[in-house]
Amino acid sequence: QVQVVESGGGLVQAGGSLRLSCAASGRSFSSVVMGWFRQAPEKEREFVAAISRSGVTTYYTDSVKGRFTLSRDNAKNMVYLQMNSLKPEDTAVYYCAARRTGMNYLSVRSADYDYWGQGTQVTVSS
């Protein structure tokens, strides 16, 4: 089992940057795919990015490609989402999530992720 806790959210002006962190507990961290999702008010939760167990492979939703970078440090049980050139439409609660061990596909479906954090608010002002 993996437990995750997000941090790093806040208020930033459009064009600015934030780095979200996700601290994970559990011996199997290096064996699980990690992902980030976000949910804006009155909208469905949507996929943002995912990273393979080794960190070599990443996948992003089109709206954040070229602006967001997902990375992980398996030695520290950490995942990082670097967000640059932020836009007001990036405003949302951001969630870190983990798939179960053995589920290696970088899924974009929230239902495929079994362990979730409480979320961290990101607000981008125009």
d(CA 10, CA 64): 18
Confidence of residue 59 (pLDDT cuts 50, 70, 90): very high
DSSP bridge partners of 105: none
Give me the phi and psi of 27, to 5 degrees please. Answer: -70, -20
Give me the phi and psi of 38, to 5 degrees please. Answer: -145, 155
Confidence of residue 28 (pLDDT cuts 50, 70, 90): confident
- With 90 as the cut, is the pLDDT of residue 20 above it? yes
Average pLDDT over residues 51-65: 97
Q: List C-alpha distances in Å: 20 to 8, 33, 79, 80, 103.
A: 5, 17, 8, 6, 24
Confidence of residue 33 (pLDDT cuts 50, 70, 90): very high
